Amino acid sequence: MSKGYLLYNSVESKILISDITNLDSIITHKGKILINNDLTNNLRDYGQKVFTTKGKFYYILKPTYKDIILKINRTTNTINSKDIAHILVNTSINKNSKVLEIGTGSGAFSLFLSHFINKAILSIDINFKNLKNSVSNIKKYGDIDYVLTLLIENKLNKLPIKSKNYFDAIIIDLPEPYIYLDLIVSVLKDGGDLVFLVPNIEQVKQSREIFAKSGFVYFRTYELIEREWLIREVGSRPYEKYLNHSIFLTFAKKIKN
Ligand SMILES: C[S@@+](CC[C@H](N)C(=O)[O-])C[C@H]1O[C@@H](n2cnc3c(N)ncnc32)[C@H](O)[C@@H]1O
């Protein structure tokens, strides 16, 4: 279940909050919402209306994962929600999967996955600031009990995982995923899923070639375009602004060598 509250007035006026414990009020485009006992009680009850000091109202809704991923604090490029969704249907990840993420970033992917799997996701990054921020995001909106973050110092083969063939899936979100080739080949189970996300098609081609020579098959590369539509009585059309290119997603399976 997603965490936090979405105060929703309209598509243009919605506010994501994780916790109101230390707040006196919430500032909105339509006046202030004062935090008092009534509001605290209402927050337990999704679907309620709360009023602002200007007499406008917001509904208290459970945020979607997309609301959360759009609003988390970012210290680096962050995976897009459409791309996260595509990862689940193109892999065999399930609630018992052991997953390694290389490149924690702002924690968007781990945060999302922590709601769905019963094993700890190991997520590694070389940047302390990013890891610290990701932990704060996961605590607010994910389940930190299911995410183990680890700072590594580019010692590419030094993970606290002794067993070979340990992970069911590895997601690698760096422009040159093959720098982790030896580690991936060692710790990914035979038959396991490899997912890499890279911004340019040259990186896709080069990475596919390298992984194909090292025991990976069943390659699939996608670019996803998502367009939300503005629906109204007259003149329904796609919103003017939409993300054109986020990332290329490539999937493959490891075979026994
Ligand atoms: C695009 S971000 C990852 C986004 C993230 N997957 C998410 O869910 O939003 C890339 C991250 O990779 C980290 N990084 C860069 N080089 C790395 C390396 N050699 N090993 C591990 N992490 C690395 C960066 O510090 C950055 O946080």
What is the band of 159 on the pLDDT scale with cuts at 50, 70, 90? Answer: confident
Q: What is the spatial distance between Cα 182 and Cα 67, in angstroms, rounded to a whole number?
A: 37
In this prediction, what percent of the chain has a pLDDT beyond 90?
Answer: 75
Pocket test for ligand 1, best of 147, 173, 200, 246 (most atoms within 8 A of CB): 173
For residue 192, what is the domain's CATH number? Answer: 3.40.50.150
Q: Quick one: 85 and 182 in the same domain?
A: yes
Protein residue whose Cα sits closest to atom 3 of ligand 1: 105
Pocket test for ligand 1, best of 76, 124, 176 (most atoms within 8 A of CB): 76
Nearest atom (ligand 1) to Cα of 79 = 9
What is the band of 1 on the pLDDT scale with cuts at 50, 70, 90? Answer: low
Return the residue matching tokens 């909105």.
28
Which amino acid belongs to residue 215? G
Q: Quick one: 151 and 163 in the same domain?
A: yes
In this prediction, what percent of the chain has a pLDDT beyond 70?
Answer: 95
172 Cα: distance to centroid of ligand 1 (angstroms): 8
Instruction: Calculate mean pLDDT across residues 113-119.
Output: 95
pLDDT at residue 70, as a whole number: 93
Of 130, 147, 124, 152, give the one whose Cα is nearest residue 76: 130
87 Cα: distance to centroid of ligand 1 (angstroms): 17
Residue environment code for 47-80, b if the CB has 16+ CB neighbours within 10 A, otherwise e: ebebebeeeebbebeebebbbbbebbebbbebbb
Overall domain count for the chain? 2
Pocket test for ligand 1, best of 126, 132, 182 (most atoms within 8 A of CB): 126
Q: Quick one: 31 and 117 in the same domain?
A: no
Q: pLDDT by residue (tens digit) across 230-251?
A: 999 999 999 987 778 899 999 9
Protein residue whose Cα sits closest to atom 5 of ligand 1: 105
122 Cα: distance to centroid of ligand 1 (angstroms): 13
Domain boundary among 63, 80, 106: 63
pLDDT at residue 78, as a whole number: 96
Instruction: Calculate mean pLDDT across residues 93-118.
Output: 97
Q: Quick one: 90 and 148 in the same domain?
A: yes
- Find the domain containing 189 and state its range: 67-254
Protein residue whose Cα sits closest to atom 14 of ligand 1: 103
Q: Quick one: 137 and 210 in the same domain?
A: yes
Protein residue whose Cα sits closest to atom 2 of ligand 1: 105
Q: What's the mean pLDDT when you consider all of the chain?
A: 92
Q: pLDDT by residue (tens digit) across 200-234?
A: 999 999 999 999 999 999 999 999 999 999 999 99
Q: Quick one: 19 and 99 in the same domain?
A: no
Q: Quick one: 32 and 78 in the same domain?
A: no
